[in-house]
Amino acid sequence: MIAMAASVSAVLTNSLGARVLTLRRRRDRRASAVFSIPALNCEHCVEAIANALYRLDGVEAVHGEPASRLIRVDYFADRADPAGIAEVMAQRGFEGAAQP
């Protein structure tokens, strides 16, 4: 009897846990945006942009390529957007546009 109660409890716990994880995945929609930044000249510029963007809620990763003057930002779409990301970069002196 105890084994059966434990088994039923385990099944219910796993079922509930799977539902919670599925809901969390749906809310945490990830997106990426690539920005062309003419003033991006060196790794120090990439670091300055990354430090500013990591303070923005929802930004998950920042990758930069000074040679191509591109910054890729990975973010959670329910907490950040390309317009807000561009605004933060512009406030730091790195104006640019998101690429389509």
Residue-range domain boundaries for the chain: 29-98
**Which residues lie across from 75 on neighbouring strands?**
31, 59
Instruction: Give pLDDT, residue 28.
Output: 72
- Looking at CATH, the fold of the domain delimited by 29-98 is given as Alpha-Beta Plaits (3.30.70)
Predicted local distance difference test score (pLDDT) of residue 46: 97
Q: What are the structure tokens assigned to 17, written together? A: 């846990």
Q: Give residue 100's pLDDT.
A: 84
In sequence order, what are the residues at sequence separation of 6 or more whose Cβ sits closer than 8 angstroms to the Cβ of residue 34?
Answer: 70, 71, 72, 73, 98, 99
**R_g of the chain computed on alpha carbons:** 21
pLDDT digits (tens, 9 = 90+) for 35-77: 999 999 999 999 999 999 999 999 999 999 999 999 999 999 9
DSSP letter assigned to residue 39: T
